[in-house]
Structure 1
Amino acid sequence: MTTALHPPPPSHPLLRLRLAPHGGMPPHGGMPPHGGMPQPIDGVWWPRSYDLLAELPGLLAGLPRAWGHITSVTVNGATWSAVPGRMLVFNQVVRLRRTVAASAPHTIVLLAPGRGRWDLLVVPPDTAEEAAEPLMAAAARGHV
């Protein structure tokens, strides 16, 4: 009798996140730039689905500790599936907001009181790896 060796079940999938070089610390001292200039993109996130309840815990777990506790997340309401007003992530409440701003259809905004605001470009989950990788690499070089 032979026994087939099965590989161990996959653990949680790797987080597909690349931060811009300035993304490790709060931009502009954690405050939005003056004069109404757009917030710089701090990185690129490539979720596996548009289910925010499933994707957000992994994203928040993979962020730099310097960003602090994210208490508010804003996503494009037309892009993501149903988003409740808040959710519990690692025993902490995170407020979820939806926007329909045409200026940022593919971004997610993360806020940590007293620490800052970070804007991440969201690569659509169904994007082919050949198309997503250049965006991810550009974020790592600070060219997003």
Structure 2
Amino acid sequence: MNPHSGTGPPPRTGDRAPSRPVRTPPVPARLALRPPTFPPGPLCGAWWPRSDDLLAELPALIEAFDATRGRVSRMASHRDTWAAAPCELPVPGHTVKAAWFASGFDPHTIRLFSYGVGRWDLLVVPPRTETATAARLMAAAADPALHLTASELLAAEQRLHAKGEAVREQGQTEQWEAEGGAPRRAWAPLSAPATVTVRDSLLASRQVR
């Protein structure tokens, strides 16, 4: 019995239905925002983009704000922060107009405007930042108790990193010295301690005799 009951030729064994393109959902923006109940400070939070391609990164950020804080219609940023500086950026459902500044604007900040709602200034964490550093910066930017600008937060993080490096180098030096790699006092003459030790040893042996 032939299972094919249509009028056309039966389908061949290798025939398959055309595959539909799989739509990859957008990757959520990495955001940390201050609680809306607190008074605004220099920053409303932080954004950690995955690259400096604003055309690729902005849609996820705007989608998050459109859903929770009001539709974003404009943005402003420093010209040197991004690889390109277009005047209009397409995002899901609409277009965001951009204003670019060469001076007088914090280079580590992006400002979003929602029509009839307000504006939000966000720290832009550099894309290639290490995860632990980015987490500290984002937590600090979203902390209502802190009132630092984006550049001040990055400067504080750089000082913390430099201090950590100094402490780590000091620890390595002390460990090396403890293992006999160097004298405790690098400025003391190398031969002096040995001479004194040998002289004391000779005097002691003569006294014993």
What TM-score results when the alignment is normalised by the length of structure 2?
0.53
Check the 8 A contact 1:26/1:67 in 2, yes or no.
Answer: no
Aligned to 1:70: 72
| Pair 1:93–1:47, CA change in 2 (3 A) | same
Q: Distance in 2 between matches of 1:124 and 1:74?
A: 17
Q: Distance in 1 between matches of 2:97 and 2:139?
A: 30
Aligned to 2:88: 86
Letter in 1 for 2:32: R
Aligned to 2:27: 13
Report the Cα offset of residue 139 of structure 1.
3.2
Q: Distance in 2 between matches of 1:85 and 1:102?
A: 19
Report the Cα offset of residue 91 of structure 1.
2.5
Question: Which structure has the bigger radius of gyration?
Answer: 2
Report the Cα offset of residue 84 of structure 1.
1.2
Instruction: Give the length in aligned residue pairs.
Output: 123
> Structure 1, residues 17-63: CA drift from partner, whole Å, max 9, x if none?
000123x7995xxxxxxxxxxx6200000000110000000001122
The percent of aligned pairs where both chains have the same amino acid is: 42
> Which is richer in helix?
2
Q: Distance in 2 between matches of 1:124 and 1:102?
A: 20
Letter in 1 for 2:27: P
Unaligned runs of 5+ in 1: 1-9, 28-38
Q: Distance in 2 between matches of 1:76 and 1:56?
A: 15
1:50 is paired with a residue whose SS is: coil
| Pair 1:138–1:49, CA change in 2 (3 A) | same
Deviates more, 1:59-68 or 1:119-128: 59-68
Deviates more, 1:118-127 or 1:89-98: 89-98
1:118 is paired with a residue whose SS is: strand
Check the 8 A contact 1:77/1:98 in 2, yes or no.
Answer: yes
Q: Distance in 2 between matches of 1:58 and 1:129?
A: 20
Check the 8 A contact 1:18/1:45 in 2, yes or no.
Answer: yes
| Pair 1:136–1:64, CA change in 2 (3 A) | farther
> Which is richer in strand?
1
Q: Distance in 1 between matches of 2:98 and 2:122?
A: 15
Check the 8 A contact 2:123/2:141 in 1, yes or no.
Answer: no
For the aligned residue pairs, the C-alpha RMSD in angstroms reads 2.4
- Divergent runs of 4+, >6 A: none
Report the Cα offset of residue 81 of structure 1.
1.1
Check the 8 A contact 2:32/2:138 in 1, yes or no.
Answer: yes
The structure with higher relative contact order (CA 8 Å, sep 6+) is: 1
Check the 8 A contact 1:107/1:120 in 2, yes or no.
Answer: yes
